[in-house]
Chains A and B, each alone.
Chain A
């Protein structure tokens, strides 16, 4: 069972917006920055968001992140079929003294 809780799946039509939630606790999201990753089938995760809302170079502004309290959210606008993937949130847990990930959310672009 993951320390961070994500919905197993979300879906939306091309061109629409989707949000993926990531719920944690005071020892992880409540205390540390959150990062997000996109994993295409059979590929390594790709870095999307760090420090809650910052994008690495090369990541389009269609991807955005936010955090409030012990929850974080990834938003994707202008959905494309190429965005179909699994999305993971991650952070540090100060009580466990270790990295933690969400269970992953499968995005389907209908």
Chain B
């Protein structure tokens, strides 16, 4: 059974780059889309973007200029970088496996706070 676990700093300074990694266990990174989704406290889910095993990416248009995703099949993990962060980027960040219109499973989520 595939499991996902997010890792990375819980505190990032404004204007710096948020970097998270999602480690996939119980299976290999294979023919699915690997996505990042975030959720500000008390608010709904926001899709950040996805990466396929061939490295092709799709990003949320509202974040596209600041997002970079990568995938490392040798380490069974994929990553998110979000540059020039502000307080508005404070959220719980989830990684997930999925296909075009669904996401499963999800990581437990990691809280990232943007503050000086």
List A residues at the B interface (Cβ < 8 Å): 2, 32-35, 37, 43-47, 50-51, 56, 88, 90-92, 96-104
Contact = CB atoms under 8 A, between A and B. Distances in A.
13 contacts: A32-B100, A32-B101, A35-B102, A37-B103, A44-B107, A50-B104, A90-B45, A92-B100, A97-B58, A98-B47, A99-B35, A101-B46, A102-B44
A3 to B, nearest CB: 10
A91 B101 contact: yes
A50 B101 CA distance: 8
A83 to B, nearest CB: 19
Range of interface residues on B (Cβ < 8 Å): 20 to 34
A101 B58 CA distance: 16
Given A44-B108, A90-B45, A104-B45, A98 B101 contact: no
Interface of B: 35, 37, 44-47, 49-50, 58-61, 94, 100-109
Given A44-B94, A98-B60, A33 B102 contact: yes
B104 A56 contact: yes
A104 B47 CA distance: 14
Contacts of B101: 32-35, 50-51, 90-92, 99
A34 to B, nearest CB: 7
A35 B104 CA distance: 10
Nearest to B106: A44
A46 B94 CA distance: 12
A34 B101 CA distance: 6
B61 A101 contact: no
A34 B103 CA distance: 11
Most chain A Cβ neighbours within 10 Å, of B49, B94, B101, B106? B101
A99 B50 contact: yes
A51 B59 CA distance: 22
A43 B94 CA distance: 11
